[in-house]
Each structure stands twice: as C-alpha cells, then as structure tokens.
Chain A
Amino acid sequence: MSLMSDPTTEGRFGEFGGRFVPETLVPACQELEIAFKEAWQDPVFRGELDAVLRDYAGRPSILTECHNLGAKLGIRLILKREDLNHTGSHKINNVLGQALLAKRMGKKRLVAETGAGQHGVATATAAALFGLECKVYMGAVDVERQALNVFRMHLLGAEVEAVHSGSRTLKDAVNEAMRDWVATVETTHYCLGSVMGPHPYPWMVRQFHRVIGDEAREQFQALVGDAPDVVVACVGGGSNAIGIFSGFVDLKSRLVGVEPAGGAAVKRGVPGVVHGMKSYLMQDEYGQVQEAHSISAGLDYPGIGPEHSYLASIGRVEYPNVTDDEVISAFQELARTEGIIPALECAHALAWIIRESGSMQGQTVLMNLSGRGDKDVGQMMEILK
C-alpha cells in the first residue's frame, strides 16, 4: 500500500484509526462512508466542490516567499497561504466538502466542535451558504479567550453552546458534539473539524484537505524547480498538516508536524482510544485522558489524528514540539519581518523552523500558514502588556 492512500475497510492506518463509537452511531458512520465514497468518485460532486472552493473560498491559495526572514535564518522560507482563504484558515476546505455532502445525504442540520473557533466559524459559514441549521460546541475556557469568534458565529446565524464539562476545552467540545449527534443522527451531520474521530472522518477530512498539498506541490515546483527539502505544519488534530503532507509524502522531502509542548501526543502519549479512534493519546496510568495545555486553543488537544500516529510509527514524519514562549516570539517575528500576522497555531510551525534553522542552512522550507492571526490579537495584547 502506498503511503496516504485509502485506509483499510476497517478504517485502519496500520494499527491506528478504527470506529470506536456507541452502537447508535455505527450505522451513521457506515452511511457516511458509503456516501463519501460515492460522492468523491462522482464528477458532478467534485465539480461542485471545486467551483465553490474557487469562487467562494478563493482557491487556489498562493505561495509567498519570506525573503527577509529567510535571509535572516539562512534558509529559503516559503509559505502556503491558507490564511488568505475565506474565513481565514484552511478549515473552509473540509467544511465546504462536508456541507455539500450533508446536503447530498439529505441532512438538515450541522453540529460541530471548535477549539479556537476557526472550525466553528467555517462551519457556520458553510451552513449559512447552503441553508443548513448549525450548532457549534465550544469549551467554556475557549469561549472566554476567543470571544470574537463566538460573535462571528452568532452573526453567521449559528447557535454556540459553551461546554462546562471536563477540561472545558476542545476535547470536551468533541464529547458534547458527539452526544448531540447520538440524539439527532437521523437529521444531523456531525461536521468534524480535523483528521480525527471514527472512520471515515480521518480519511474523508484528509481528502478534503489534499487540495492544499496538491496545489503546493505544483506551485513549489514552478517557483523553485525542485521539491522542498523540508515541509512543516502545526499539529493539533492534524488536518492542515495532513493536507500539505499529502502533496509531498511520496517525495524525498523531510516532513515535520509541530505540536505544542503541552499537547505533545506523539512525544508524551501512548496508543489509546477516545473520540472514536485509536491513536497516540496523552493519558494517565489508568487510561484517563489528560488535559492539554497550550497558548493556542486550536492545538489544545491531547490526541492526534490516527494517520499521523501511523506516519510517526513508521518514521515518515517527525513530530517535535515547541514551548509557548517560542511561539510568542515566532508570532512577533513573522509580523515584523514579513508583515504577516500568523494564527498562534501556525506560529508553532514557525517557532520550530526558527529554532532548527541552524541545521537547515541553505535548504528550502515550505511552511503551511494555515490561518491568520486576527483572532489572536486580543490574547497577544494581554500577553505582551
């Protein structure tokens, strides 16, 4: 099996993945798997998706070479500008795909979880566009620190429910969205925001984000005349990373997924099962899932998508981590040297590049700038006071 092709019929990537959901949801996951397979092979569906990605989301996103920062670091640094998509992040790729699919399946309502709010905003946007009802679950802690995105979702006509259980962050928002889905599965599609959850989500969400890697491969070749030496992306659940890696996994490029130090599932986790999937997971000695701690709400997740666990286990992708302090300085560095304010999530990828640039002198480095930093400006204003 070539890397990043389809998973097994049980939804496995090596030993990872699967479908560990309450019995109530098994038929819905099976139905979704069949519907996605059919849609993905249907030129009509693909044509509709391509059109909406182009005419609504603004694809293709461009590449930007960072001449100033690149010269300073002694590398050629090139950004894939997912921050320029409509709604300000890569999340729109997946959401437009899933919303189109939900309509095709006759569902009337979307539920979603969100951490930083980017996936929630994207889902609310797609729901508005396609005339679907929308409810977004968001940890109470994140509702506080991402108030602007909560208001955006309200403007877009979505209902936002603060989740007060557990650690009151992303993992608990996923639990609550799944509980909603268990009760409403006949009319509702769960629009999961990352390459995680039960089969077919990790595979389906990856296919919807492949466009990042497919575009970047062609654009990079045109710009540089060769494949990148290194491809870097931040990883919470891992959707933007899997999207860009999918364009380069069969080439010689070194692939690096950067996790937050407080949510380093690959480094600090062991295989476990939560949210419908088997994957690396931070947990205590009895298998209780531990809370992640990160400056960025979008990466505050104790697990990682199962295909990442597989890519880590075979050594194809490295998963280092960076501290909040490194992230804060990388965030400012890109703003000052290039005039681009990155999302705190992507500042993780840049923080790793800055830290490791000494060992990459003269190399070409492609980084997925998966979102813009407007949503984080308020939080950074507090931190930098």
Chain B
Amino acid sequence: MTLESELRSKRDRGRKILVPYITGGFPGWIDAVRAAAASGADAIEIGLPFSDPVMDGPVIQEASQRALELGATPVSILDGVRNLDVGIPLVVMCYYNTVFHAGHERFAKQLVAAGVCAAIIPDLPLEECGPWAKAADEAGLETGMLAAPTAPDSRLPMIVERARGFVYAVGLLGVTGERSALAATATAMAARLKPITDKPVLIGVGVSNAEQAVEACRVADGVIQGASVVRRLIEGGADAVGEYVDEVRRALDAAFVPQS
C-alpha cells in the first residue's frame, strides 16, 4: 500500500481525506493513534519531537517538549509504530536534523522497516531536498512536499512535481495552532494547486475544528489537523482524540456524501 494510492482511491470514491497529527512519545500517543484510526482517520501523521520545532506553535511545542523530557527518541517512537498495525497509512513528520543526523539512507530504511509509508520534513524545502529525496525514493518511501501561500505561481509546479503521496497546502502564514476561523489563504492555496496536480491536495496548519475542515474540503481533497488533536491528547487523552476525530469524520461525511 502506498499513501498516494490509498488516498487517491478514497478520493475517487468521493470521500474527503482526514489526517490527524499526533506527537509521538507523548503519554498515551499509541492509544491515541489507535483511537484516531478506529474513528475514521484515513492516515495518521506521527510527529517525532525535536528540540527546536520552528514550524510549530505552543500546543505542539509543549507536547514535543514533554515527550523529550520523558525520554522519547526517534528509535523508541519507531519501535512503537512498528507494532501499531492500524490498517491505514502512517506518515512521519520530523525536522531535518533528525534525518541528517541519522543519515539519509539509514533513516529512510528505518522508517520503511517500521511500516511508515511517507515522511513530511517541514524545514527541508525543494532546493535542499535532493539527498533525502533520492534516499527516500530508493527506499520506497513517499515524501509529501509543502506549498505555502507565499510561493509565486512559477514555484508551485516544481513543488507538486517533487511531492510523493500528497501535496501539503499550508493553510496560512504562520505556525501550527488553532485559529478561530479558517484563513482565506487556506482555500486559496488549495485552489492554486488543484488545477496543476492530480495528486491529493491536503490543507494543513490552522484547520482547527470540524466546521473549518468542511470549509477547507470544499476546495481541497482533505485536511491535516495537528494542534486541535494534540490539545485533546494533552487535556483528555486518547479517548478525547477518538471522539474528536469521530466528530470531524461525521461532519465531512455529512457535507460530502461518499459513494458507497
């Protein structure tokens, strides 16, 4: 199973894609992944905590810092991932130094061995991704690329060309975190990407509740939700994550009725 084939087949049946993000190593994270999978997630993004997460706002920073204080490492988290067997694709999100320090080929192989389909590396832009992209392609690992509202039109075709699995449409100018409304940039970003790629386009960063997920999916193929999921993990544990994912799933399925 590749992430892209899985997401495409769901999209082609009219289903909107829901990808919750969970910080690996935070207490209860394994149960939270299982709960999200059982509640209708289509894939799950597992964050490897890093000491200096520049793309993350306060909620994910806090979860990352606590996971690190409790001794989480990429190795311990991937050991947990290996035994998950939740039946949907798993994606790892990590900062580039985690990859660079381990070594590109070694890290790609570690992810594949743990059953991970794809990676997202938010501080590794197009111009710097060559060595990693080569190692990931050779290992059979997909790498989702980020497209941001600041990109000129001339840059987007290169980003979607290099993306494997899906294209990550960054929803706003800013870091991860919940916002009271969906930024206008979110659907605008997806609307710029959809005409130039057939790959699934998912909006992430600032998609903060079920209503905003529905709004985002009027243009995009799906959403990635981070801070709103991790906040529930911090406040209410795995059960709260499951309930939230179920709520978003129902809202999406009600707004966009999948073909049976």
Seen from chain A, the residues whose Cβ lies within 8 Å of a Cβ on chain B are: 10, 18-28, 165-166, 171-172, 175, 178-179, 182-186, 271-276, 278, 281, 283, 286-290
Contact = CB atoms under 8 A, between A and B. Distances in A.
Nearest to A178: B54
B150 A274 contact: no
Contacts of A272: 97, 100-101
A138 to B, nearest CB: 17
A175 B54 contact: yes
B52 A28 contact: no
Contact of A179 (B73, B74, B152, B175): B175
Contacts of B73: 286
B55 A22 contact: yes
A27 B100 contact: no
B125 to A, nearest CB: 5
Given A165-B61, A183-B175, A186-B173, A22 B101 contact: no
B65 A20 contact: no
B151 interface: yes
Nearest to B96: A273
A27 B125 contact: no
Nearest to A167: B51
B57 A22 contact: no
B155 interface: yes
B: contact size bracket? 35 or more
B75 interface: yes
Contact of A283 (B101, B155, B175): B101
B88 interface: no
Contact of A185 (B100, B145, B150): B150
B59 to A, nearest CB: 12
A380 to B, nearest CB: 31
Nearest to B151: A27
Contacts of A276: 123
Given A175-B53, A272-B97, A273-B96, 5 more contacts: A23-B146, A27-B155, A271-B100, A287-B100, A288-B68
B98 interface: yes
A271 B96 CA distance: 12
Contact of B124 (A20, A24, A28): A20
Nearest to B205: A24
B150 A24 contact: yes
A22 B146 contact: yes
Contact of B125 (A23, A175, A186, A283): A23
Contacts of A19: 125, 127-128
Contacts of A186: 150, 173
A289 B148 contact: no
A51 B105 CA distance: 52
Contacts of B97: 272-274, 281, 283, 287, 289
B126 interface: yes
B123 A21 contact: yes
B148 A287 contact: no
A6 B16 CA distance: 49
Contacts of A166: 51-52, 65
Contacts of A26: 125-127, 148, 150-151, 155
B79 to A, nearest CB: 13
B55 to A, nearest CB: 5
A79 B150 CA distance: 46
Find the residue from B96, B97, B98, B124 having the highest chain A CB count within 10 A: B97
Given A179-B175, A273-B96, A22 B125 contact: yes
B102 interface: yes
B150 A165 contact: no
Find the residue from B68, B101, B147, B149 having the highest chain A CB count within 10 A: B101
Interface in B117-172: 122-128, 145-152, 155, 159, 170, 172
